[in-house]
Amino acid sequence: MTTVTSPLAGRAIGLAAVPDPVFSGVMVGPGTAVDPVREPSVAVAPVDGIVVSLHAHAFVVVDGEGHGVLTHLGIDTVQLNGQGFELLAAKGDTVRRGDPIVRWNPVEVEAVGKSPVCPVVALEATPDALADVAEGVDVPSGGTLFTWR
């Protein structure tokens, strides 16, 4: 079983509340979303594993059980072309839960009209594979978001 922790501090709001039909419709996969605190912050690894995909606005860490967890920093933030994001890790890095991956500022994302909400998704998982999914609660960075069986 994999415990997936929050890559940042904020409020777990669930995928249905994400202002993007691809995420809210669970097309990418099940999980939850975090509405981040409005201050410059560092998004951290939600599991121990290997960074298999890394962009300024999103990253995927795959753990030892082959579970890939996508963290997407904001909605439509790919359109910012990396502006306001600083990579702190590299693709292929082995990371531990809580290791810094990307520095960003949700306030700047909002200032350019984008949502700072961050989906945290279990890739290639079925909804019934997840338990104890956080929704409607405040979570610290590193707080449990869900477990994946």
Cα separations in angstroms, 137 against 14, 34, 132: 10, 10, 12
Residue 120 near residue 34 (C-beta atoms within 8 A): yes
In a domain, 34, yes or no: yes
Residues labelled as active-site residues: 72
In a domain, 105, yes or no: yes
Query: How many of the other CB atoms lie within 10 Å of CB of 57?
Result: 24
- Whether 142 maps to a domain, the answer reads no
Domain around 74:
2-136
70-111 pLDDT, tens digit per residue, is 999 999 999 999 999 999 999 999 999 999 999 999 999 999
pLDDT at 68: 98
Residue 19's domain is classified under what CATH number? 2.70.70.10
CA angle (10 as vertex; 68, 35 as ends), nearest 5: 75
Backbone angles phi, psi at 129, to 5 degrees: -80, -15
User: Domain total for the chain?
Assistant: 1
Q: Look at residue 99 in the predicted model and tell me its pLDDT.
A: 98
Mean pLDDT, residues 4-9:
98
pLDDT at residue number 120: 98
- CA 78, CA 149: separation in Å to the nearest integer? 31
